[in-house]
Amino acid sequence: MSQARVSLFVFGLYMFFAPGLGFILMPRQILHLFGLTAGDDVWIRVVGVLASIIGFYYIQVARTGLDRFIPWTVAGRSFAAAMLVMLVVLNMAGPGLLLFAAIDLTAAAWTWVALRSTK
């Protein structure tokens, strides 16, 4: 498995388990770790379902070698990080959201570096 696939596989595991199953099974506890609140429990659980699906897709892309998809995830995860930072800067969310942004951006950078090293 290439380094780009490994980075996507690891990020997929993170997405599936941390925000995915974490938000589905224990949303308040996970959000509390980051100083965030859930508002209506059902929506954070829906976010967990979507995160687990994205994680599943990333894992499958890495496992099956759909390499055309991998560069797209760098842009998507970078955009997600930028939007999370924007929410904090605009005081629409607490600073705990910056940890999620940092994870997205770090993982995207790992994949980007891995893709560049294979060219």
Asked if 41 contacts 23 with a C-beta cutoff of 8 angstroms, the reply is no
> What predicted TM-score, i.e. pTM, was given to this entire model?
0.91
pLDDT tens track for 5-50? 999 999 999 999 999 999 999 998 888 887 787 777 799 999 999 9
Encode pLDDT of 83-113 as tens digits.
Answer: 999 999 999 988 989 999 999 999 999 999 9
91 phi, psi to nearest 5 deg: 60, 30
Please state, in angstroms and rounded to a whole number, the distance separating the CA atoms of residues 77 and 55. 12
Question: Hey, what's the torsion of the CAs at 91, 39, 56, 26, to 10 degrees?
Answer: 120
CB 116 within 8 A of CB 70: no
Place of tokens 């308040």: 28
Residue with tokens 């997929």: 12
